[in-house]
């Protein structure tokens, strides 16, 4: 098992492409590319930690949209460390854990 971390995915956020120079023409293209890249490296026994801001913008308020993205995430476990843009639809997803702090290394 490998533990993978990512942050600020901002699924569905059209403006993040301009703000952060993401090389996509639409949020749907960005979302598909991020999911595809995750599936290339995250194995079926791995953990995925999203370190805040899973989705943002109008689509982040759409429960069906965030659930559809969540259901495409790879890995055996999916965890969320809550970011300032994580709204109720994201927080209501069936994460393996939701916290305001990341895991503690021992």
pLDDT in tens, 85-97: 899 999 999 999 9
- The 10s digit of each residue's pLDDT in 11-46 is 998 877 778 778 888 889 999 999 999 999 999 999
What are the residues facing 99 on neighbouring strands?
Answer: 81
pTM of the model: 0.88
What are the residues facing 11 on neighbouring strands?
Answer: 55
Q: Could you give the CA distance from residue 21 to residue 77 in angstroms, rounded to a whole number?
A: 30
Q: Which of 41, 40, 73, 36 is nearest to 54 (CA)?
A: 73
């Amino acid at each position: 098992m490998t533990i993978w971390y990512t942050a600020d995915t901002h699924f569905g956020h059209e403006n993040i492409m301009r703000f952060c120079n993401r090389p996509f023409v639409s949020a749907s293209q960005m979302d598909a590319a991020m999911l595809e890249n995750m599936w290339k490296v995250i194995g079926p026994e791995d953990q995925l930690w999203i370190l805040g801001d899973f989705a943002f913008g109008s689509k982040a308020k759409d429960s069906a949209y965030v659930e559809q993205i969540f259901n495409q995430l790879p890995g055996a476990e999916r965890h969320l460390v809550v970011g300032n843009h994580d709204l109720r639809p994201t927080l209501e997803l069936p994460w393996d854990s939701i916290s305001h702090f990341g895991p503690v290394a021992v």
